[in-house]
Structures are given as structure tokens and as C-alpha cells.
Amino acid sequence: MSGAFGYVGRRVLVAVPLLLVVSLVSFALTELLPDPSIARLGQHATRENVAAFRARKGLDDPFLARWGRFVRDATTLEFGEDLVRDDGTTVGAGIRSRFPATFELALAAMLLAVVLGLVAGALGAVFPRRLADAVAQVFALVGASVPVFWLGFMASLLFAVKLEWLPHPDWSLRVIAPDAGPGGYATRFLFLESIARLDLGAVGRALAHLALPAMVLSTIPLAVVTRMTRATMLEELGRDYVRTARAKGAPETRVVTRHALRNALIPIVTVTGLQTGALLGGAVLTETVFAWPGLGRYVAEAVRSGNGPVVVAGVFTFAATFVVVNLLVDIAYVLVDPRLRRGGAT
Amino acid sequence: MTSTTRRALALVALGLAALPLGCGKAGPAGGASAGGRTTFVYARGKDSPTLDPAEATDGESALVLVNVYDTLVRFKYGAATVEPALAVGWEAADDRRAMTFTLRDGVRFHDGAPCDAAAVVANFERQRDLAHPFHFTAPGQPPARYPYWGDMFGSVAKTSVVDVRTVRFDFSEPMPPFFLSLLAMFSCSIVSPKALARGAGYVKTHPVGTGAFTWVGRDNEEITLAANPSWWGGKPAIDKLVFVVVPELKNAYARLESGQVDGVDNLASKDVPRAKANPAVKVHEVATGLSVCYLAMNNDRKPFDDVRVRRAVALAVDKPRLAATAYEGLATPIATLVPPGVEGHAPLADRVRDVKEARRLLEEAKAVGTKVTLRYMGNPRPYAPDPGAIAAQLRDDLRDAGLEVELRKDEWGSHLKAMQNGEHELGLLGWTPDVPDADNYLYVLLDKEGAVPPANNVSFYRSERFHGLVAAARRAYDPGERRRLYADAQRVAFDDAPLVPLVAMPRTAATAAGVEGFVLDPVSSPRFAWTSKAAQAK
């Protein structure tokens, strides 16, 4: 047990300099962003207003002084003040209030990708070069190739405009739980909290509003998981232990799910962890297309308006999430591979 | 089956059972409103940066402010003329160096404080006097003038209380002829002194005024207001007003069509014909747009320091085609920066496109074949819904006359900064005025005093003759004399062609068909005090 703690501790320690480098590089890149005084003050501002705004926000200070201030503010997880929403709101508060929307969207997309990907990949491996395999392969290829923003517009047009099966996503307490009242849903996890409250109406509305963006966001990880599952399952199904299991008369379902699939899981889990990074990147596009009030849209809007602290803090949060998810993936190895429990993770 | 599997299956079943409750055609905007109360959801493109009227300069902040606050005078609903609001009467001294306002009796702020002369004076003095306790200054920074006060109210020497219902303005020089229009601007909103006493952070986040709606709160970018039952103008018909941010215009319009919002603040040009054909949607337009788009030529740079080249550019641009194609027929070509309908507009006959004459002028100036760059913004603006299409046509028009034009696209902030610093040769830009008066176009965009980087006069035009006429118009109180001076100034600018005025763009918005009483104001941001929609029974 202490070995596991030591392992996690080492990974966390490695993450600290990594995140510092991420912050420095992304902070340097924000030098290329447009002047936030335009987004904050608009075209009608005078020279004096622009100068006062820049002085107030310390935008004319030397680069290292500004980065140092950012790192100092990052230690309190507040990341300084939002430059464009100029009402004293900290970037940390902005990120905390938007993170749940991104988390729930990413979770839904990842669940879709993993569940459908495992099923489609396993079917493809069990029935190679048959219709189910061909369909899964085509979907995987299309999913990996079609740009998310295009797919988003098309999916909206089809499901929300033409067929009217789904609403245009509107992830707001006003829509999901209109009766919650003040102080309701304090966690801001609209979907998870509506499940916890067993509010079926809210769960239904949350699912309906989640469906389109989650479907669009899941396409790339779905394609990757499907192909990876198919490839590793094909490999596993050809191994001796599978032949032995079949020879012993084990039912085919058990051979596939209990033996082959379980052994194929390690690379799938790895790829799922790595795909989380792609998913967060995809969230920037998906959230923009669907006006989803999450972290991705916050960062995308900040890039357009030159809101540097939001961009850096957003990248920082994405990086930290990526590190945490990969740490969880490492821990998941231990769960799926009993050999690692004995030898300790390396 | 393990207990974990059973739990997972139960969760999936719960989700599937609940899905039909949320699927299907979306219900009315605002969802269920208890007790038949009406919620009006209005979609807009961006969030409000600040809710302190003294600090706000943008339309998104103004949208909230004009619904929460009142001003001494206001723009008539749907018009550009002013009418009484918190002030019921006013009188100017003969020498135009003083003005007194009589306040409406019995008006109270949302927090219960009386809106008397002391409250009004506190609001103006905090903007005028840098040492005023309510003139908010960032820690460690010297006090800075508030945006509009420094620029437009510089002639106000002092405001004072005459009696509990009378306020006096004293001016250091004769007040501007359009002073009442300035007072109708959102920056002159009257804030509760009790709120001001709670400091900058409170005023920026909790607007407390006397207006038709009271502040409820914000959830990230979603702002909620509630009807003020004791508003002096009568309780608004809608109970709850919600502003939501939907950045993409097409996305916002799709939500209106599906009934998820009740109104959208702007329409993409391409959606206007579709919206007009849809019986479930009402399109609102201001007949003559106040927003103008122009092609700026940097008069400090070759070859545009030569008036012949500038006239050639003005002759080469095909404005009717531009209005018909890049603007989808929605915009009106203009000969002068002051659009029709605005006080001081001169009805000049525009140049008719003449490529031969343009080429002759360029040959005379030895500028044929000159390579120039036309900078434009990547983001749509109120006066340029598709900047790329506009820039492409301008490039083709100028190529016909003999100028080699290259296009350069920049993100809006970078584009504006480059233009204001004079880093361009040709550049696409536009303007939405603060007040509907020729001064707000001509003085701001073409006077020599504005030709210092970061400039609003991005053509860097410095005509003494033009300056003399505009300066004289600022002191002219006879409407006929003002019009004559502005007409002369516009003729001078037309002849010197420091820029090419392209089009005036009407403002558009759309609401659901069941919405009544919504009128798009030409100057003010949309006000919802007189808007109604059918109540939704739960």
C-alpha cells in the first residue's frame, strides 16, 4: 500500500514542474493575443481610458513580473482577475463555475465512446470482415476524419432543426431544473446532482440537452477505442489460452467477455486516458458550436478577446486534468491486471 | 449478476426512463414559470463586462443598464429624440452656461432610498470630481477619468442641489447643443447612493437603480432581472427578464425558431429573409441604420497622401453592388459618414462608379500598379456582417482601376489597434454612434484632434477648413446654422475623400410571434419595460 502511495506521490511531484512549464509556455504565447483593452473598453474608449485600464491590470509590467504574479495567484487557485469581465471576478471563480459543465460533457462523451467502442470493436473482432465489422470500421473512419465543428452544425441541423427530436443544448439551471430555486444545485453538476436528487424530470432534460454535444464530442475517442479494441481483441482471440478455453467447452460469450476482452483492456485503458487530452481539446470546439457554458468556450472566447489569465489558467486546468486522468489510468492498470498488484506499479 | 453490475444497469434504466421527459420539441423559453408568470429570454452575443454605468462603454453592459436604471431624460421608445424620465422639466440659462432640472416626485430606488436631487448630484459629481468618495479608483493607481465623462462632459463645471427636487448644471463654456442627448446615454444612469456607498465591487456586480427591472443575479453569463412592481412608469408586463449568451448568431436564431428563447439581439444577414418568411418569428429593424462602414485610407502614407489617388479609390468602389451582395441587400449606400435621418446629415449626390476616370487619376498621380494592403477584421461587426466578403469586393473594384490590393485579415482587437496606430494603408472599419448627431461622426472620425494614435480618425485626415466648420457647429445653437455648417463640412470631406463611406447598416433583432410591444430603438439598447408575451401556465 505504501508503495502505491509512494508511486502516486512521485507522480504528483513530477506534475508540479510540468505544470510550471505549461504555465510559462502558455503565458508566453498569450503575448501574441490581441490587446484585452479593446474587448473590455470597445472602440469608443479614449487613450486615457486605455492607459488607465492597462495600468490598473498591470499589463505594461515586464513579462517576468507578470508571470511571477500569475504563478503567485495560481497557488491560491484564483489566477488573478478576469481582464474582460471587469467586475472583480477572479479567473479561478470563472473556471470553477464552468468546470462542472465541461466535466459532465466530457464524462458523457467518454462513456459513450468507451461503451460503444468496446461493443463495436469486440463485434468487429469476433465477426471480422462481416457486415457489423464493416459498419464499425466505416463509423470509426468517419469519426476520426470529420471535423468536430462541421459535425456539430450538421447534427444540430438534423436532430434539433429538421427532426426536432432534441433541443438546442441549453445547459442552465433555468432549463434543467427550473423548480430548484435559489441555492439549488450548489455543486453545479446539473446531471449528476439531478440523479442524486432522483429528479427524473431533471435527469431527462439533462440527458436531452447533453445528447447532441456528447455525441459529437465522442466521435474521435469512439473511433480510436473501436479500432484499438478490434485490433487487440483479434490478437487475443488468436492466442493459445483462448483455444484452450474453447477446447474446455467454455461458452463463446464467456470466452470473448471474460477472457479475451479482459486481457485486451490494458491498451484500451491506456488509449482512453490519452484520449481524454483530445477530448478536452475537442471540448473547446464542441462547446463553441453548441454554446455550452463550459471551460472550453470560456478559453476560446478568452483567446478572441485577449483575456490572457483565462487562457493560461484554462490551459493549466486542462493540463492538470490530463495529469490526474493519466494517474487514474495508471491506477486502473492495477485493477485490470492482477500481475501488477504483486509486482507493484513501475 | 454482481451488485455493481445491477447498480450500473439500474442507472442506465433510470436514464432511459427519464430521457423521454427531456426529449422532443423544446418547450417555451424559460421553461415552467410558476403561477402563470412570464419569463422573457433574450439571447445576445456576449456577456456584460461591468455594470457600473460610469465605467461601461459597450453595448452588452448597456443592455442590462438601460433596463435597471433610469436617466434624467431618455430616448423616446423607438426614436432618437429625448423625452422626460427622472426629470420632468428643464430650463437652460440664456448664455447656455447653466441648466436646471426638476425631478419627478416620489421616485425611489430599488433599495427604498429616495431618488432626490442629492442622489442625482452624487451620481454626476462622482464622475466629474476625481476626488469624490464615489469616484472609484483601483488601489495603488492615480484616479482616472471615467470614459464618457472625460470625452463628452468636459464642459460641465459643477452639478449642485438647488432644492430636494431641483438639480443645477453649471458649464465652463456654453454647453453643447446636443447636451440632452448626452444625458440620455446609459453612462448617465442614476445609481442608488446606498449602493455607491458599498464600493466599486458592489456597484459593478449589483446594479441598484430606479428602473423598470430590478437585479436578481447572474449565473456565469446568464443574467436575471425581475419586474419592478413600483416603477414610476408602471409595472412591466413580463415578470422575469433573462439575458443569455449565445455567441453564434445562427445558433441564437435556431433557438428562437425552436422556441427556446423569446428574442435574439441580432440576426445574421443571411437569416433575415428566412426569418421574415417564418410566421412564428417577428423581425424588428430600424429603418435607417446609424452604424456606418467605411474604407479608411491612411492619408499619412503613400500613395494616399495624394488627393487624386483617394478620389480614384472613391470612384472605383461599386457601393450599390456591395450593398446588394456582401450585405444581402440590407444596407444602404452612403455618400457621407452621417447617415440619413441623423441630425446634420447632408443629402450629397454620391460619385457614380467610373473606372476609366479612376484609372486616369491614378495615372496622373503615377500610382497605377502600386501594391497596397487592405486590412480587415476577421469577426463580424454591427456594420460589417461578413467583413471578408466586403474586403474581397473592394479589392476587385480597386484592381479594376489599377491598384494592386492584397488583403490582410486580423482578429478584431489586433485589427482595431493596428488601424488606430496608423499601421495600415487601406483598412475596413465602422462606427456606431453614442448620440445620433453629426458631431458624433464628423468630429470623432474626421477631425484633426482625433488624428493622434491611438486614433479614432484612422484616416489621419487633418483639414483646417473641416476642423473650423465642425468646431463652429459645436457652438451653434440655431438648428439651421448647425445644419449649414455640417453640410459644408461634409462637402469638404467628400471633396478631399480621406475615406470612402460605404454603407449604413440597419439594426436588426427578432422575437417570437407571440411577443408584443417590442420595439427596436435606433440609439438605446433594447428596453423591455413595454414588452409582453402570453403567460405560461405551469
Highest mean pLDDT among A157-161, A273-277, B1-5, B491-495 belongs to B491-495
Least confident of A25-29, A342-346, B109-113, B169-173: A342-346
Average pLDDT, chain B: 89
Range in B7-21, B56-70, B212-226, B495-509 the model is least confident about:
B7-21
What is the rounded average pLDDT of the residues B232-252? Answer: 92
At B156, list the grid cell: 460641465
Instruction: Please report, for residues A175, B97, B167, B177, the alpha-carbon distance to residue B92 in angstroms, rounded to integers and kept in the order given.
Output: 52, 8, 12, 11
* Mutation site for A-interface testing, chosen from B19, B33, B152 by largest number of A Cβ within 10 Å: B19
Q: Pick from B15, B42, B173: which is nearest to B98 by CA?
A: B173
Percent of chain A clearing pLDDT 70 (strictly above): 95
Q: How far apart are CA B196 and CA B199, in angstroms?
A: 6
Q: Which residues pair with B98 in a beta bridge?
A: B170
pLDDT of residue B393: 96
Question: Which one is predicted more confidently, A335 or A122?
Answer: A122
Task: Please say if the pLDDT value at position B162 is more than 90.
Answer: yes
Q: Does any CB of chain B come closer than 8 Å to the CB of residue A61? A: no
Residue in chain A lying closest to B440 (CA) = A44
Per-residue model confidence (pLDDT) at position A130: 84
Rounded to whole angstroms, the Cα distance separating A157 from B337 reads 40
* pLDDT, mean of residues B434-462: 91
pLDDT given for residue A166 in this prediction = 92
Residue contact B416–A38, C-beta within 8 A: yes
From the list B266, B234, B233, the residue with the least C-alpha distance to B250 is B266
Residue B81 pLDDT more than 80?
Answer: yes
Give me the mean pLDDT over the A283-289 stretch. 88
Q: How many CA atoms lie within 13 A of B222 on its CB side?
A: 21
pLDDT at position A4 is 61
Residues from chain B that touch A87, judged by Cβ atoms under 8 A, are 49-52, 201, 204-205
Of B19, B24, B417, the CB nearest to A38: B417
Give residue A184's identity as a one-letter amino acid code: G
A94 and B220 within 8 Å at the Cβ level: the answer is yes
What percent of chain A clears pLDDT 90, i.e. is strictly above it?
26
Average pLDDT over residues A69-86: 88
**At A346, is the pLDDT very low, low, confident or very high (cuts 50, 70, 90)?**
very low
Q: How many CB atoms lie within 10 A of CB B250?
A: 15
Compute the average pLDDT of residues A172-180.
Answer: 87
Across the interface, whether the CB atoms of B23 and A208 are under 8 A apart is answered yes
Mean pLDDT of B523-536: 86
How large is the average pLDDT for residues A232-256? 87
- Judge contact between A166 and A156, C-beta under 8 A: no
Q: How far does the CA of residue A257 sit from the closest CA of chain B (Å)?
A: 14
Residue in this structure with the C-alpha cell 432522483, named with its chain if needed: A198
**pLDDT tens sequence across A201-236:** 999 999 999 999 999 999 889 988 998 999 998 888
Across the interface, whether the CB atoms of A35 and B413 are under 8 A apart is answered yes
- The pTM of the full predicted model, rounded to 2 decimals, is 0.87
Using the 8-state DSSP alphabet, how is residue B188 labeled? G
Instruction: Output the nine-digit C-alpha cell for B513.
Output: 410571434
pLDDT at B5 over 50: no
Percent of chain B with pLDDT strictly greater than 70: 92
- For residue A33, the chain B residue with the least C-alpha distance is B414
Percent of chain B clearing pLDDT 90 (strictly above): 69
Grid coordinates of B384: 460589417
Distance, in Å, from the CA atom of A242 to the CA atom of A240, rounded to the nearest integer, reads: 5
The reported pLDDT for the residue numbered B35 is: 47
Element (H or E) spanning B64, and its range? Answer: helix B59-68
3-state secondary structure of B53: coil
Considering only CB atoms, which chain B residues are within 8 Å of A290?
A: 251
- Across B83-89, average pLDDT: 97
Q: Are the C-beta atoms of residues B339 and B345 closer than 8 Å to each other? A: yes
pLDDT tens digit sequence for A109-156:
999 999 999 999 888 888 888 888 888 888 888 877 888 888 888 998
What is the full DSSP assignment across B329-365?
Answer: T-SEE-SSSS-TTSBT---PPPPPP-HHHHHHHHHHT
A272: pLDDT strictly greater than 80: yes
Which residue among A46, A94, A166 places its CB closest to the CB of B147? A46
pLDDT of residue B80: 83
Contacts of residue B148, defined as CB under 8 A and 6 or more positions apart, other chains included, come to B57, B182, B185, B187, B434
Chain B positions in Cβ-Cβ contact with residue A44 (cut-off 8 Å): 57, 147, 434
Q: Give Cα separations from A145 to A216, A274, A339 (angstroms).
A: 12, 18, 37
CA angle A55, B417, B468 (to 5 degrees): 100
CB contact under 8 A, B434 and A44: yes
- The band of B11, judged by pLDDT with boundaries at 50, 70 and 90, is very low
For residue A62, give how far its alpha carbon lies from the nearest alpha carbon of chain B (Å).
Answer: 17
- Pairwise CA distance, residues A158 & A165, whole Å: 9
Residue of B nearest to A46 (CA): B147
DSSP result, A158-200: IIIIIS--SPPP---HHHH-TTS-TTTTTT--HHHHHHHTT-H
Tell whether the model's pLDDT for residue B256 goes beyond 90: yes
Sign of the four-CA dihedral B185, B186, B187, B192 = positive
Contact B27, B259 (CB under 8 A): yes
Interface of A with B in 178-207 (CB under 8 A): 178-179, 195, 200-201, 203-207
Q: What pLDDT shows up at residue B538?
A: 38
Q: What is the pLDDT of residue B125?
A: 96
Question: What does the pLDDT read at residue B188?
Answer: 96
Distance between terminal CA atoms of chain A?
14
Predicted confidence (pLDDT) per residue in B287-317, tens digit: 778 899 999 999 999 999 999 999 999 999 9
* Backbone angles phi and psi of B36, in degrees to 5: 70, 15
Sequential DSSP letters for B402-426? T-EEEEEEE-HHHHHHHHHTT--SE
For residue A332, what pLDDT is reported? 76
The candidate with the shortest Cα–Cα distance to B238, out of B524, B41, B28, B508, is: B41
Question: Which residues of chain A does B145 touch, with a Cβ-Cβ cutoff of 8 Å?
Answer: 48-49
Amino acid at A204: G
Question: Contact B22/A36, CB-based, under 8 Å?
Answer: no
Q: Which residues sit opposite B227 in a β-bridge?
A: B213
Look at residue B21 in the predicted model and tell me its pLDDT: 44
Q: List Cβ<8 Å contacts ≥24 apart for A60-69.
A: A63/A28, A63/A31, A66/A27, A67/A23, A67/A24, A67/A27
pLDDT of B30 above 60:
no
- Write down the pLDDT at residue B527: 96
Question: Torsion over CA of B525, B528, B531 and B537, rounded to 10 degrees?
Answer: 140
Q: Which position has the higher pLDDT, A182 or B218? A: B218
Q: Using pLDDT thresholds of 50, 70 and 90, give the confidence band for residue A53.
A: confident
Question: What mean pLDDT do residues A33-58 have?
Answer: 83
Closest to B51 (Cβ–Cβ): which among A33, A87, A289? A87
A161/B contact by beta carbon, under 8 A: yes
Task: Tell me the average pLDDT across A276-304.
Answer: 86
Q: What is the pLDDT of residue B2?
A: 43
Q: Are B50 and A87 an interchain contact pair (Cβ–Cβ within 8 Å)? A: yes
Looking at the predicted structure, is the pLDDT value of residue A8 above 80?
A: no
Say how many C-beta atoms besides its own lie within 10 A of residue B290's C-beta.
25
Confidence check: pLDDT of B96 > 70:
yes
Q: Hey, what amino acid is at B460?
A: F
- DSSP H helices, chain A, are 2-29, 36-41, 47-56, 63-75, 91-126, 131-145, 148-155, 173-176, 190-196, 200-237, 240-247, 252-254, 262-289, 295-305, 308-336, 338-343
| pLDDT at B420 exceeding the cut of 50 | yes
The whole-number pLDDT of residue A182 equals 60
> Average of pLDDT values for B425-452?
92
CA distance A184 to chain B (A): 12
Q: What span, in angstroms and rounded, lies between the C-alpha atoms of B275 and B267? A: 9
How close is the nearest chain B Cα to the Cα of A18, in Å?
30
Q: Average pLDDT of A12-34?
A: 84
* pLDDT for res B430: 94
Q: Residue B9's pLDDT is what? A: 41
* Between A7 and A40, residue with greater pLDDT: A40
* Nearest to B399, CA basis, from B432, B364, B357, B371: B371
- Interface predicted TM-score (ipTM) of this complex, two decimals: 0.85
Give the pLDDT of residue B23: 45
pLDDT tens across B475-490, in order?
Answer: 888 999 999 999 999 9
